[in-house]
């Protein structure tokens, strides 16, 4: 019987199966050797339980650089100070807020004779110290200005030198870099980021100046900036706190009568300025301060920089002395330090500046080359101005004397037409007769006013110049200790009143009623004396010397033949008035 085979079984299939098993076994051995040779051996239970603890303690060590290293979190543990001093300034920085606690100008004095402190400490306590940050978020501003920065140096820094302050809490980061030279200019670079993105934070001078002590000095604070050659100024109540002004700015900042804190942006087109305006209460009586008796004053400040990112600028903090301002150049464009200088910071006047500035340059030249005293320089300048105006003054005196001579004829013509109303055509005939009388006697009716009209611009320009010339601040002349301030002994006002009365009595005044003339002789000198109580004594000195020169000229003119003739006429007229009064 034939063998019946398994239908699934083929010849040689067993050998094939054995070969497959052999190859599979070989692959398993090779796989274990090559792919699984680094698998650790099985640990006992004790080691298995301790392994997770080791993993937990190693994890913070691996992540520590991302949180605790100085590259991310950087804060100081205690407050420190850094002093930077050069030939003109002494600046004290604190790492609390990376701000300026003291900014002393060594070449200028305060009212007590001490080196001038430009930080208004009472205002700074309330509104912020110099080089504090300004942001549009009050909470962020407070945090940045209260933070403890890490300073690159403490103690004293030699100039030229650099000082850096850094702060970070892991999210908010701030940095200030300051560079110092031997002048009034400090380089400033600032940046603030949050979560790696730029934050708008501008360096600021927020709280006025330390030389402001009187309400009048606070009132002279202003915000100023130069844009394309044009200078704009805002003072007092016109300044809106928190207002943003867009550039370009060659320079911008705060100033008072004699000092300024001005930012000179490295990139003028990208610069913006935020105006700051606060109110401070000061004692009503500075000599006897009483906390219950105060008065409010305006405190002005500014913050300048780039609203879109880090700020790179220079900061001028110093006197508004023309020769110093002319030496400081702004940037015309990024990397181009050939822009306008700061000379336009000094405001010689919008309309008469073209007279006031040359007057000051002339006065300074006189002081530097002739006599090293500002009082005597003012006197010399006044004498020269009056000598230049002498021909006009002599013409005016002659005209006044002639007017006095024809006064009876003038009065007769006025009486003739007194019955006619002002709008009556006959009044034109009176003017015609007056003109003929003037022509007959060669009299110019306005000749007597011409020198005064010409002299008034000089007087106003002189006043404007003395108000801004820091060179006259605390300048001495005999009993005057400050030619830019009033005379506290009131000698200048008394001399102004006396010299003006004397001048009026010596000068003929035609066509004026005696009663009116007498009133003017009292009222005008009294008014001039009253305003001189508050204004610069240097201006009063100019006025008195001018009066003395005018008195001498009038005295000489009165001794001429015409002067004697007029004196006889005046005596005759006075005698007639006395006789008429007795009737």
CA 203 to chain centre: 16
* Contact in structure between 262 and 203 (CB atoms under 8 Å): no
Residues 88 and 223 placed together within one structural domain of the fold = yes
Q: What is the pLDDT of residue 567?
A: 76
Q: What is the pLDDT of residue 571?
A: 77
Residues 458 and 503 placed together within one structural domain of the fold = yes
In-domain check, residue 429? no
The span from the CA of 88 to the CA of 192, in Å, is 31
Residues 169 and 218 placed together within one structural domain of the fold = yes
The token duo for 538 is 């240097």
The span from the CA of 395 to the CA of 119, in Å, is 55
Q: How many domains does the chain have?
A: 2
In-domain check, residue 259? yes
In-domain check, residue 281? yes
The span from the CA of 376 to the CA of 478, in Å, is 10
Residues 79 and 135 placed together within one structural domain of the fold = yes
Final residue in a domain of this structure, among 267, 296, 319: 319
Residues 239 and 130 placed together within one structural domain of the fold = yes
* Contact in structure between 263 and 252 (CB atoms under 8 Å): yes
In-domain check, residue 266? yes
Residues 552 and 462 placed together within one structural domain of the fold = yes
Which helix (DSSP H) or strand (DSSP E) does residue 156 occupy? strand 155-157
Residues in CB range of 83: below 8 A, 6 or more apart: 90, 91, 92, 93, 155, 156, 157
Strand pairing partners for 295? Answer: 282
In-domain check, residue 543? yes
81-85 and 155-157 strand pairing: parallel
Spell 156-169 as b/e; 16+ CB within 10 A means b: ebeeeeebbbbbbe
Residues 284 and 374 placed together within one structural domain of the fold = no
250-301 pLDDT, tens digit per residue, is 999 999 999 999 999 999 999 999 999 999 999 887 778 888 889 999 999 9
The span from the CA of 57 to the CA of 154, in Å, is 38
293, burial (CB in 10 Å: exposed 0-12, middle 13-18, buried 19+): exposed
Residue 76 CA neighbour count, 13 Å, CB half? 20
Instruction: Tell me the chain's radius of gyration from C-alpha atoms.
Output: 43
Spell 479-515 as b/e; 16+ CB within 10 A means b: ebebbbbbbeeeebbebbbebbbbbbeebbbbeeeee
Residues of the chain with confidence (pLDDT) below 70: 1-71, 446-452, 508-519, 573, 580-583
Residues 503 and 393 placed together within one structural domain of the fold = yes
The token duo for 347 is 């405001």
Residues 155 and 289 placed together within one structural domain of the fold = yes
Residues 163 and 301 placed together within one structural domain of the fold = yes
CB atoms within 10 A of CB 105: 21
The span from the CA of 120 to the CA of 102, in Å, is 9
Q: What is the pLDDT of residue 516?
A: 62
Which helix (DSSP H) or strand (DSSP E) does residue 465 occupy? helix 450-468
Sheet (strand 89-94) strand order? 115-117, 99-109, 89-94, 81-85, 155-157
Residues 360 and 301 placed together within one structural domain of the fold = no
Q: Which CATH number belongs to the domain containing residue 253 in this structure?
A: 2.70.98.90
In-domain check, residue 274? yes
Which range marks the domain in which residue 472 is found?
356-406+441-582
110-148 pLDDT, tens digit per residue, is 988 999 999 999 999 999 999 999 999 999 999 999 999
In-domain check, residue 346? no
319, burial (CB in 10 Å: exposed 0-12, middle 13-18, buried 19+): buried
DSSP H helices, 374-449, are: 374-388, 390-405, 407-416, 426-440
In-domain check, residue 210? yes
The span from the CA of 429 to the CA of 347, in Å, is 50
Q: How many residues does the chain have?
A: 583
Residues 242 and 378 placed together within one structural domain of the fold = no
């Amino acid at each position: 019987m034939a063998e019946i085979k398994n239908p699934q079984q083929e010849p040689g299939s067993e050998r094939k199966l054995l070969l497959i098993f052999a190859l599979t076994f070989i692959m398993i051995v090779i796989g274990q050797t090559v792919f699984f040779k680094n698998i650790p051996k099985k640990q006992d239970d004790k080691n298995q339980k301790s392994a997770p603890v080791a993993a937990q303690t190693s994890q913070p060590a691996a992540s520590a650089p991302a949180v605790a290293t100085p590259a991310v979190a950087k804060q100081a543990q205690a407050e420190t100070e850094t002093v930077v001093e050069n030939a003109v300034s002494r600046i004290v920085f604190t790492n609390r807020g990376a701000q300026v606690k003291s900014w002393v100008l060594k070449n200028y004095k305060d009212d007590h004779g001490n080196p001038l402190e430009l930080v208004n400490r009472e205002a700074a306590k309330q509104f912020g110290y110099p080089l504090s940050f300004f942001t549009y978020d009050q909470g962020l501003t407070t945090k940045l200005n209260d933070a403890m920065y890490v300073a690159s140096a403490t103690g004293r820094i030699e100039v030229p030198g650099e000082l850096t302050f850094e702060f970070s809490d892991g999210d908010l980061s701030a940095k200030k870099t300051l560079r110092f030279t031997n002048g009034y200019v400090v380089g400033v670079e600032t940046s603030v980021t949050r979560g790696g993105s730029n934050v708008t934070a501008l360096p600021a001078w927020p709280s006025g100046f330390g030389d402001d002590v009187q309400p009048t000095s606070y009132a002279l604070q202003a915000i100023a900036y130069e844009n394309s050659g044009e200078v704009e100024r805002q003072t007092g109540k016109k300044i809106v706190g928190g207002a943003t002004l867009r550039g370009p700015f060659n320079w911008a900042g705060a100033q008072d009568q004699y000092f300024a804190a001005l930012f000179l942006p490295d990139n003028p087109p990208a610069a913006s300025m935020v105006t700051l305006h606060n109110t401070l209460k000061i004692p009503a009586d500075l000599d006897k301060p009483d906390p219950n008796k105060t008065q409010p004053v305006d405190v002005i400040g500014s913050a300048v920089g780039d609203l879109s990112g880090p700020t790179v600028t220079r900061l001028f903090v110093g006197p508004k002395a023309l020769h110093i301002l002319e030496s400081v150049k702004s940037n015309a464009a990024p990397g181009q330090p050939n822009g306008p200088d700061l000379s336009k910071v000094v405001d010689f006047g919008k309309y008469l500046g073209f007279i006031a500035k040359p007057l000051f340059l002339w006065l300074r030249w006189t002081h530097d080359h002739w006599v090293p005293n500002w009082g005597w320089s003012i006197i010399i300048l006044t004498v020269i101005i009056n000598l230049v105006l002498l021909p006009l003054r002599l013409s005016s005196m002659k005209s006044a004397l002639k007017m006095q001579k024809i006064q009876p004829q003038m009065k007769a013509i006025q009486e003739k037409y007194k019955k006619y109303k002002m709008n009556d055509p006959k009044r034109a005939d009176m003017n015609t007769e007056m003109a003929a009388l003037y022509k007959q006697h060669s009299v110019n009716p306005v000749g007597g006013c011409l020198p005064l009209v010409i002299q008034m611009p000089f007087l106003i320009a002189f006043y404007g110049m003395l108000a801004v010339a820091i060179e006259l601040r605390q300048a001495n002349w005999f009993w005057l200790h400050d030619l830019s301030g009033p005379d506290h002994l009131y000698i200048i006002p008394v001399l102004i009143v006396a010299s003006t009365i004397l001048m009026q009595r010596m000068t003929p005044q035609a066509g004026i009623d005696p009663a009116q003339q007498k009133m003017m002789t009292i009222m005008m000198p009294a008014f001039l004396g009253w305003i001189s109580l508050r204004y610069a004594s240097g201006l009063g000195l100019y006025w008195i010397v001018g009066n003395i020169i005018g008195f001498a000229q009038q005295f000489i003119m009165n001794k001429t033949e015409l002067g004697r003739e007029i004196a006889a006429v005046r005596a005759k007229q006075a005698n007639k008035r006395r006789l008429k009064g007795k009737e």
